[in-house]
Structure 1
């Protein structure tokens, strides 16, 4: 796999699709009420800072993934616990993305289908794609991403036809002050989805041209922020802040209100299409990161068998992680976000950058002397 490469556009498609993958279906920033769209814009600024950290680290070690550069930054013996931690982290988040996908299908078109069959079928297709290597994944991104964006724009156009559509639902701006916005931004929206872009550090070594690495990273965050902001504006204009804050899948709820001439209704299939496309990127990204990490750890020359092993772990993990959707969401918001996302997405990478910066300065000063 180390011989294959992807170009800048493929990386852009994969990581933007990864960030917005299953995010648009959920209601982010609901605590800020009508200012939820401002939560996204504010979190995007933090996302740009995080992307700067990731790309700066990658510029110091351009041919190495996040886990490969750890021994050169913090030393060989301190490295292994963090490699194990990130592998577990990536694997767990892949299982959560699968569970998101299955829960949406169970709530819409596959009501009586056991989750294990939904998740198992999807993971089978996902592993088949990933076994082809990062180049295959990048080419699939070129195919799937336009489908995702096309579905999203069609949904937005349909929402404009909803009788309840009222842009005044977004007023008054800053009606509750700036405090609710900040509370929603950190740690929730900053880490999901912007902090999840840390996975890009597992793809950087496979980029065929690293000259514009920072520009690609910033373009990814800006595109994600704009798409999510526009999506939130459309949903809030249809549902209003009160309903938006009390439904599991606000985009699905808003789309169900579409009725054209009392004939064209129930556009749930578009949401399902988006979710399938989005989870393709999300699960693929996390699984790829975990497989590459395992290959680094055990010095494996190929990852095809690793993907098969991960598939047998991710499927049952997605099933047993929580008994129901409510407990699943509470675990993610109350524990994972603060005690897992924040350290691994924000604190540790910033610490790594500081140490790497000092090491580079010290080594350059030593060479000059």
Structure 2
């Protein structure tokens, strides 16, 4: 696994990772027409978390998340913390795999068994990630241009349909700040903004001496604005109430574009870009879980890919129904699990790194 990725490649990869599965859902729907305020508030909190992760990286840029845990948390506690991160990443990969399978079943392949679709879907990242992080970074650079063109087409065509209703944004803060706050914390911080904790595994592949922080923070800010605007467009088209109860709200918006005959087969285009986004996010979680297992066990990275793929495939069936799957992901995980991996453990790691650094300077 070579360490000569460009800083711009890592920044683009982070941007695509953040977009990932986010357009699949209405984010901050509890805040209704004020979802954009909840998004910006959560994005600001996520920005602080990203600064935390970059600070950890700068203190010891030659080590990834697992190596940092082993070195600064102690051998045994660090091993368990690292294994918890690897399991967390593997589970998140399985969630993206299930999202991809459910989307394919609803939109394109409703006669194909779910297990067959999921098996095909997990095979792709297993093959791509076998070439290491550098190959995935380069793939993301290619996909970035494809997704940029596709989303630009969607942004350009929606206003032409006459479906936007600006009045759906008002009144602003109708019920005060509390619904906005409740929508932002902790759900929106955990998903999607806090998931950048994954890049503590990948920052080490940036070239030394380059200003990685600047390009990463710019990419994050761009994605935060992009997701906020995209999310609000859904509300302005469908209205807050309908958008909240729609299974795939942005997909419904894209279907309305086709209805007014601005673009033919817009739903197929949107499904394709969602597949790409989900696939990239799934592959990154999967790859970082495999890197962790290698660092924790000493067994070569490629040897872990097949058993890990089997584990990710099996995890997708933990929830027998899609309703339960969504509830576990958007409520249980975001509220009770994600904050430990995105906030508590990184803060503990930073404190231990600073304490050890202070001791070394005192000697």
Deviations 1:4-42 (A, max 9, x none): 431111111111111111111211100000011111111
Aligned to 2:222: 223
For residues 274 and 37 of structure 1, what CA distance do their matches in structure 2 show?
23
Deviations 1:337-362 (A, max 9, x none): 12210111111111211221222122
Structure 1 segment 168-179 matched on structure 2, within 5 A:
168-179=167-178
Change in CA separation of 1:205 and 1:259 when aligned onto 2, cut-off 3 Å = closer
Give the root-mean-square deviation of aligned CA atoms: 1.6
Conserved? CA contact 2:14–2:220, under 8 Å: no
Conserved? CA contact 1:95–1:315, under 8 Å: yes
Deviations 1:197-241 (A, max 9, x none): 001111111112453132133123212201101101221111111
The Cα of 1:297 is off from its aligned counterpart by: 0.7
Counterpart among 304, 311, 314 of residue 313 in structure 1: 311
TM-score (norm 2): 0.96
The Cα of 1:149 is off from its aligned counterpart by: 1.9
Deviations 1:98-148 (A, max 9, x none): 001111111111112111111111211211111111111111011112111
Conserved? CA contact 1:47–1:221, under 8 Å: no
For residues 83 and 200 of structure 1, what CA distance do their matches in structure 2 show?
14
**What is the count of residue pairs matched by the alignment?**
363
For residues 47 and 39 of structure 1, what CA distance do their matches in structure 2 show?
12
For residues 356 and 150 of structure 1, what CA distance do their matches in structure 2 show?
42
SS at match of 1:63: coil
Of 5-14 and 90-99, the range deviating more from structure 2: 5-14
The Cα of 1:266 is off from its aligned counterpart by: 4.5
For residues 260 and 145 of structure 1, what CA distance do their matches in structure 2 show?
28
Identify unmatched segments of 5+ residues in structure 2. Answer: none
Structure 1 segment 1-369 matched on structure 2, within 5 A:
1=1, 3-259=2-258, 262=261, 264-300=263-299, 302-318=300-316, 320-366=317-363
The Cα of 1:261 is off from its aligned counterpart by: 5.8
For residues 133 and 208 of structure 1, what CA distance do their matches in structure 2 show?
16
SS at match of 2:111: coil
For residues 276 and 352 of structure 1, what CA distance do their matches in structure 2 show?
35
For residues 75 and 104 of structure 2, what CA distance do their matches in structure 1 show?
44
TM-score (norm 1): 0.94
For residues 243 and 157 of structure 2, what CA distance do their matches in structure 1 show?
18
For residues 9 and 148 of structure 1, what CA distance do their matches in structure 2 show?
17
For residues 56 and 342 of structure 1, what CA distance do their matches in structure 2 show?
18
SS at match of 1:175: coil
SS at match of 1:160: helix
Change in CA separation of 1:260 and 1:339 when aligned onto 2, cut-off 3 Å = closer
The Cα of 1:334 is off from its aligned counterpart by: 2.7
SS at match of 2:63: coil
Deviations 1:288-311 (A, max 9, x none): 1101100101123x4122122211
SS at match of 1:323: coil
For residues 69 and 203 of structure 1, what CA distance do their matches in structure 2 show?
13
Conserved? CA contact 1:37–1:232, under 8 Å: yes
Identify unmatched segments of 5+ residues in structure 1. Answer: none
SS at match of 2:239: helix
For residues 118 and 95 of structure 2, what CA distance do their matches in structure 1 show?
11
For residues 209 and 168 of structure 2, what CA distance do their matches in structure 1 show?
44
Conserved? CA contact 2:160–2:262, under 8 Å: no
The Cα of 1:175 is off from its aligned counterpart by: 1.9
